[in-house]
Amino acid sequence: MAGRELSPQEKLSLIKDQLQEVLHEDILENVILKEQRPLVIYWGTATTGRPHCGYFVPMMKIAHFLRAGCRVKILLADIHGFLDNLKAPIELVKFRAEYYKYIIQSLLKAVGVSLEKLEFVLGSSYQLSSDYTMDIFRLSSVVTEHDAKKAGAEVVKQVDNATLSGLIYPLMQALDEQHLGVDAQFGGVDQRKIFALAQETLPKIGYKERAHLMNPMVPGLAGGKMSASDPDSKIDILDTADAVKKKLRKAYAASGEIEGNGIISFVEYVLLPISSLKDPESKGRFVCERREGEGDPLVYYDIETLKEDYRADKLTPQLLKAGASAALIDLLAPIQADFQASQEWQEIERKAYPPAEPAKKKKQPKDKGSRYPGAGNVKTNPDGSVEGKGKEEIEVGKTAGDAMSKLEINGDDAAQA
């Protein structure tokens, strides 16, 4: 990662490398070329489902930003996770934010990034302040319901009769730029509408516009966007080598087809750039081993040659999958070793993603007939009260005080409930 010192123009080129779109490139040029100071940039992630291998894509750009001398802040957006249709229950938000920090630190170490150059910020550490709250009120007075909903359409889960939290989410993401004190925000191209909202509305409450840098959306293994809720569309960071091989064997990779091929995209945006970071003088290297007697390994130093061979079926889906499996297993090995060596990380993982309780079978009510003690003696009234012989055995109490005394719950018991 160290290498020689880059010129301002080289820094600018590296920052923009492989991005799909940049909004307000003039801001980047002003900071890097004219002011010649480090660009301050943030990338945020809502701490919801388990991070998967798709996270290597933004990690590679963060590695580029650091190589270009940027100051990078990583926002662990715990409150955003709660607001997005309760994807992260409030009881688990704290633990999931801690789990994400462990994962992201280990991911960045795996791609050769020094953690000393990064700053992790927990969203709730400043988003609950009076200043931030007042800014939410100010911004909500100039943003319409229509615009807030439109901004979050590709990011916030869309449901019928949605809660207001989904409208607050994009407003907060815009305000984070101001409260984190950055020049630019980085994210996927699916964030574009939120970025546009920030550029349009922050000046209305007296804050400056920021630049926005957007990665392309890399297809998942099953085609389309990687999803934490679809186990076959993604590979978990902690998946075993066998699980990685199995999922990649099942991955969508039609012979000769480049579009929608998640494995080729992963080679392009992760495996080749990581190889290049380890050897700054090269553009990277990706190897597909062949069986004995089938010829020498296929070695690729750029993605265009790989795509040409794939179209011509010289590089078959089977060879591509085998090569990607081997490279990914090597990439995940040090991360999984970190996890196995850390009791604290393992404990946080259990708290953040507790195993689902097995569904209990509903007990069918027994037909006691009319011959059990008290049957037929107690009458239930429409208001819930009971009367008749034996009512004192089943009546809890007429007031909350009566009920508590009859249930014999003391202060200590109540505290533990």
Domain boundaries, the chain: 8-215, 231-352
| Tokens read off for 159 | 């449901």
pLDDT recorded at residue 384 = 44
Q: What is the pLDDT of residues 95-149, one digit of tens each?
A: 999 999 999 999 988 888 888 879 999 999 999 999 999 999 999 999 999 999 8
Give one DSSP letter per residue of 319-331, joined into a string: HHHHHHHHHHHHH
- Compute mean pLDDT per 10 residues along the chain, 417 residues long, and list them: 79 94 97 95 92 90 92 93 72 89 92 85 95 96 92 74 82 96 96 95 97 90 56 82 91 89 92 82 84 89 95 95 95 95 96 80 63 50 49 43 41 43
pTM, two decimals, is: 0.79
pLDDT recorded at residue 130 = 97
Among the listed residues 163, 274, 271, 179, the one whose alpha carbon sits nearest the alpha carbon of residue 218? 271
CATH of domain 8-215: 3.40.50.620
Among the listed residues 120, 92, 89, 91, the one whose alpha carbon sits nearest the alpha carbon of residue 104? 120
Distances (CA, A) of 7 to 16, 181, 208, 382: 14, 25, 27, 82
Q: What are phi and psi of 144, to 5 degrees?
A: -80, 160
Please give the DSSP secondary-structure letter assigned to residue 252.
-
- CATH 1.10.30.50 matches 231-352: no
Separation CA 235–CA 198 (nearest Å): 33
Separation CA 59–CA 43 (nearest Å): 10
- Mapping DSSP onto H, E and C, the string for 221-237 reads CCCCECCCCCHHHCCEC
Torsion angle (degrees, nearest 10) of CA 80, 84, 89, 92 = -30
Separation CA 38–CA 69 (nearest Å): 6
Give one DSSP letter per residue of 279-320, joined into a string: STTS---EEE---TTS-SPEEESSHHHHHHHHHTTSS-HHHH
Q: What are phi and psi of 109, to 5 degrees?
A: -60, -40
| Location of structure tokens 């319901």 | 145
309-346 b/e (C-beta count within 10 Å ≥ 16 → b): bbeeeebbbebbbbbbbbbbbebbeebbebbeeeeebe
Separation CA 372–CA 139 (nearest Å): 66
Separation CA 98–CA 93 (nearest Å): 9
Separation CA 103–CA 349 (nearest Å): 10
Among the listed residues 215, 205, 146, the one whose alpha carbon sits nearest the alpha carbon of residue 174? 205
pLDDT recorded at residue 50 = 87
| Tokens read off for 417 | 């409930």
Distances (CA, A) of 45 to 23, 88, 204, 238: 20, 12, 26, 19
pLDDT recorded at residue 408 = 43
pLDDT recorded at residue 382 = 47
Which residues neighbour 104 within 8 Å (Cβ) at sequence distance 6 or greater? 45, 51, 55, 59, 74, 120
pLDDT recorded at residue 320 = 96
Amino acid sitting at position 262: G
Amino acid sitting at position 61: K
Separation CA 251–CA 246 (nearest Å): 9
Q: What is the pLDDT of residues 52-94, one digit of tens each?
A: 888 999 999 999 999 899 999 999 998 888 887 566 677 788 8
pLDDT recorded at residue 158 = 63
In this structure, are residues 55 and 104 in contact, taking their beta carbons and an 8 Å threshold? yes
Three-class SS state of 23: strand
Please give the DSSP secondary-structure letter assigned to residue 380.
E
Amino acid sitting at position 245: K
Amino acid sitting at position 82: F
